[in-house]
Amino acid sequence: VAGAVSEFDLIARHFTRATPSALLGPGDDCALVAPSPGMELAITTDMLVEGTHFLPDTDPGQLGWKTLAVNLSDLAAMGATPKWVLLAGSLPDGDEAWIGAFADGFFKCAKRYGADVIGGDTTRGPRNLCVTAIGELPAGQALRRDGAKADDDIWVSGQPGLAALGLAHLQGRTALPEALAKRCITALQRPLPRIELGLKLRGLATASIDVSDGLLADLGHILERSGLAATLNEGQFPLIPPGSEPKLAREAQLGGGDDYELCFTTPIAARQQVVMLAAELDLPLWRIGYTVAASAERPAGDILLTDADGKPLPLPKKGFDHFG
């Protein structure tokens, strides 16, 4: 009907942009791509639900960025180069201002990391956004969770815990100084997937994961899949941000999700290379501990947290589980 904004119009207007890396972009039954010869594909899908992952009044532009960023973070964790993205969305209405702002944020993130949005689906229903992201990497070079070896160094990038502090601030559970609040809310709403770090870790890291559920929980996944335990030294952790409540900030660092930093393991022999990589990327990389062969006393997945003097510390609760 002339004048009506139909589903197809909405999609075409806001989500159809040039897709130079694809043979065929949005508008057909499928998108078509030609994978590069000799490359493997890393593929991931993530669903973000209003009320579970974001609040109804979340800024749509920031939500657009984050919706894609959390998927690209999974590609970063594998060491893959982002290539193609599909977006399916359920929306309660055809609110074009919201859709336009969301699309802007989504495409800003796609452009920043070099991904083409090649297809999607739009339907009516409770707000829900589902992205599938596809990246390429040279055969055999993927950074899997199951490759860590005993006595590897354990590293984490950036400043994990800021996003959880930002959420606590927004929810009134803590009061951060203004500059720190701004930094933490940016970490929460506009996470930066560590794509460049992931690419540089190919051939260097033995295992890698992105910190989406919390550092201890996600490190636990590496340990379980690799059949190892770990000892962490709190004295080697990133410093707690000045102005935050120390206990809350430490819990956020160990258990807070949503930062999308990378946690990875490397052989001791690679330690100097990782230090140089941090300088090259201008990104802090913290050597927070080491892996330990599993044993009867310390089964696979076990994490021992110690203070700077090696004295055991209690573990805070683990990451967020939607059905826990």
Instruction: Show contacts of 7-13: CB within 8 Å, 24+ apart.
Output: 7/94, 7/122, 7/123, 10/94, 10/96, 10/99, 10/122, 11/120, 11/122
Return the residues of window 162-221 that contact its own copies according to CB under 8 A. 208-210
Considering the rule CB under 8 A, would residue 66 count as an interface residue with its own copies? no
Q: Which is nearer to its own copies, 199 or 234 (CB)?
A: 199
The two most distant CA atoms of the chain are separated, in Å, by 73
Which of 21, 50, 149, 313: binder of its own copies (CB under 8 A)? 50
Least distance (Å) between residue 1 CB and its own copies:
7
Provide the angle, in degrees to the nearest 10, between the axes of the packed helices 96-113 and 7-15.
Answer: 40
Return the residues of window 217-246 that contact its own copies according to CB under 8 A. 225
Least distance (Å) between residue 177 CB and its own copies:
33
Considering the rule CB under 8 A, would residue 57 count as an interface residue with its own copies? no
Least distance (Å) between residue 42 CB and its own copies:
4
Considering the rule CB under 8 A, would residue 44 count as an interface residue with its own copies? yes
Query: Of 21, 321, 290, 53, which is closest to residue 148 (Cα–Cα)?
Result: 290
What the block records as the tokens of 80 is 């893959």
Considering the rule CB under 8 A, would residue 90 count as an interface residue with its own copies? yes
Considering the rule CB under 8 A, would residue 89 count as an interface residue with its own copies? yes
Specify whether the CB–CB gap between 85 and 133 falls below 8 A: yes
Considering the rule CB under 8 A, would residue 142 count as an interface residue with its own copies? yes
Considering the rule CB under 8 A, would residue 139 count as an interface residue with its own copies? yes
Which of 16, 21, 58, 132: binder of its own copies (CB under 8 A)? 132
Contact range with its own copies by CB under 8 A, out of 129-137, 165-173, 245-253, 303-311: 129-137
Which of 78, 156, 167, 252: binder of its own copies (CB under 8 A)? 78
Considering the rule CB under 8 A, would residue 13 count as an interface residue with its own copies? no
Give a three-class secondary structure readout of 185-250.
HHHHHCCCCCHHHHHHHCCCCCEEEECCCCHHHHHHHHHHHHCEEEEEEHHHCCCCCCCCCHHHHH
Residues in contact with 34: Cβ distance below 8 Å, sequence separation at least 6, in sequence order: 23
Which of 12, 17, 23, 312: binder of its own copies (CB under 8 A)? 23
Specify whether the CB–CB gap between 121 and 27 falls below 8 A: no
Considering the rule CB under 8 A, would residue 77 count as an interface residue with its own copies? yes
Angstrom distance (rounded) from CA 250 to CA 36: 44
Which of 58, 122, 186, 306: binder of its own copies (CB under 8 A)? 122
